[in-house]
Amino acid sequence: MPRPVNPVSAAPKGPVLGIETSCDETAAAVVGRTASGAPVILSSVVLSQTEEHAAFGGVVPEIAARAHVEAVDGIVKAALTEAGTGLEGLAGIAATVGPGLVGGLIVGAMTGKALAAARKLPFFAINHLEGHALTPRLTDAVAYPYLVLLVSGGHTQILLVRGLGRYERWGTTIDDALGEAFDKTAKMLGLGHPGGPLVERAAASGDAGRFHLPRPMRGEKRLDFSFSGLKTAVRQAANAAAPLSDQDVADLCAGFQAAAADSVRDRIGRALERYRAELSDLADPVLAVAGGVAANGAIRAALNAACQGHGVRLVAPPLSLCGDNGAMIAHAGLERLEAGLFDGFEAPVRPRWPLDEQAAPMIGFGKRGAKA
């Protein structure tokens, strides 16, 4: 379904308020431009619901939706105050309308639409993945086109960003997302949630060579990922070594992380080969990384190594802008405002909304669907 778009010329310039409620962060931010045209984050407020969900070992949609309802007005107000503006100082309002958990999406979308209607401001219905994909332009003014690796709890995708609204998915996971694999490994080893940082910490004192784990998809021509077989291999190794000492857990974490990083290096290496061949005239070829797993040192090192081998610059935004936030949504809204791509208030929430509508759906893709 094409998104509803009303092109207008001579669009006014920002700032734009962005609202993000697609999973377990209630976030709002105001993003504008400096006199020279560089994007500037005037405020960014993120309230994480980690504690509300901790006891359940994952995000509970109903709890998330209720927490968003309670928090969103205060978070929007805080973002406006921090930016030193009221609604009258805005040029538009953007809200994530998908993909994500439907309850949270409705809360953010309705809040954004209501404020826009009350103030007669343009409204932007933002795809959360577009927010992540455009983040290197917000943080590092990266020019189109560029390649993005999005690695979060719900997505593992290689995207070619040709321009605003022009995304080609080159690869995705055929089963678990990378962050999901970290989280499941942590759960299996009794480390808690969210598991990525806990696995990384445990791995620091582990021997990555003790357990022999597979490097999924290594050498495959297609640019997709797979992590569920690796997770199963960790489970089998853990069962065989049980009862597990702290050192066993550390060694399993180190082995898992090294295997995941090797797999990412191989997949990205292939993607960069294609990128260099198909876009051979780029003056400054860039691979950007986004999503919570970008925080992982071993994954970053793997990406660095792949980029160095192909003469590509790695752009890794600060961690506060890798995970979910309102600034990336405000920034996507600002780009849409400047391009005259307005959405009507009839724009629906879309719990499933691939960025590249041409790309074939994957078996198991979006199975978990909560995080993006």
Burial class (CB in 10 A: 0-12, 13-18, 19+), 86: exposed
Stretch near Zn ion under the rule CB under 5 A, chosen from 189-197, 221-229, 247-255, 364-372: 364-372
274-293 binders of ligand KG4 (CB under 6 A): 291-293
113-152 binders of ligand KG4 (CB under 6 A): 152
Compose the 311-350 pattern: x for residues touching Zn ion by CB under 5 A, - for all others: -------------x--------------------------
Q: Which two tokens stand for residue 150?
A: 């999005």
Q: How far is the CB of 151 from ligand KG4 (least distance, A)?
A: 7
Q: How far is the CB of 186 from ligand KG4 (least distance, A)?
A: 7
Out of 251, 324, 338, 343, which residue is the one contacting ligand KG4 (CB under 6 A)?
324
Q: Which is nearer to ligand KG4, 85 or 228 (CB)?
A: 228
132-171 binders of Zn ion (CB under 5 A): 152
Q: How far is the CB of 300 from ligand KG4 (least distance, A)?
A: 9
Q: Which two tokens stand for residue 161?
A: 């960003």
Out of 19, 41, 71, 372, which residue is the one contacting Zn ion (CB under 5 A)?
372
With CB under 5 to 8 Å by kind, the binding choice for 154 among ligand KG4, Zn ion, none is ligand KG4
DSSP state letter for 173: B
DSSP state letter for 225: B
Out of 98, 99, 171, 195, which residue is the one contacting ligand KG4 (CB under 6 A)?
195
With CB under 5 to 8 Å by kind, the binding choice for 32 among ligand KG4, Zn ion, none is none
Q: Which is nearer to Zn ion, 177 or 302 (CB)?
A: 177
Size of the site for ligand KG4 (CB under 6 A): 21
Range list of H helices, 30-60: 50-54
Task: Say which residue the tokens 């209607």 belong to.
Answer: 117
Q: Could you give the 3-state DSSP secondary structure of residue 265?
A: helix
Q: Which residues contact 242 (CB under 8 A, 6 or more apart)?
A: none
Beta bridge partners of 342: 6
With CB under 5 to 8 Å by kind, the binding choice for 92 among ligand KG4, Zn ion, none is none
Q: Residue 191's closest CA among 264, 252, 233?
A: 252
CA 268 to chain centre: 17
Out of 39, 104, 131, 194, which residue is the one contacting ligand KG4 (CB under 6 A)?
194
200 touching ligand KG4, by CB under 6 A: yes
165-184 binders of ligand KG4 (CB under 6 A): 179, 182-183
Burial class (CB in 10 A: 0-12, 13-18, 19+), 222: exposed
Strands 92-98 and 39-48: unpaired
**Rounded-to-integer distance, Cα 214 and Cα 232, Å:** 10
Q: Which is nearer to ligand KG4, 59 or 341 (CB)?
A: 59
**Rounded-to-integer distance, Cα 187 and Cα 116, Å:** 42
Stretch near ligand KG4 under the rule CB under 6 A, chosen from 26-34, 192-200, 217-225, 263-271: 192-200
Q: Which two tokens stand for residue 91?
A: 């040029």
Q: Which is nearer to Zn ion, 112 or 153 (CB)?
A: 153
**Rounded-to-integer distance, Cα 324 and Cα 64, Å:** 14
**Rounded-to-integer distance, Cα 261 and Cα 367, Å:** 23
Q: What is the 3-state secondary structure (H, E, C) of 119-167?
A: HCCCEEEEEHHHHHHHHHHHHHCCCCCEEEEEECCCCEEEEEEEECCEE
Q: Are the CB atoms for 13 and 91 separated by under 8 Å?
A: yes
Q: Which is nearer to ligand KG4, 24 or 335 (CB)?
A: 24
Q: Residue type at 324? A: D
Q: Which is nearer to ligand KG4, 233 or 293 (CB)?
A: 293
Q: Which is nearer to ligand KG4, 200 or 251 (CB)?
A: 200
Size of the site for Zn ion (CB under 5 A): 3
Give the interface with ligand KG4 as residue ranges (CB under 6 A): 23, 152-154, 179, 182-183, 194-197, 200, 291-293, 295-296, 323-324, 371-372
Give the interface with Zn ion as residue ranges (CB under 5 A): 152, 324, 372
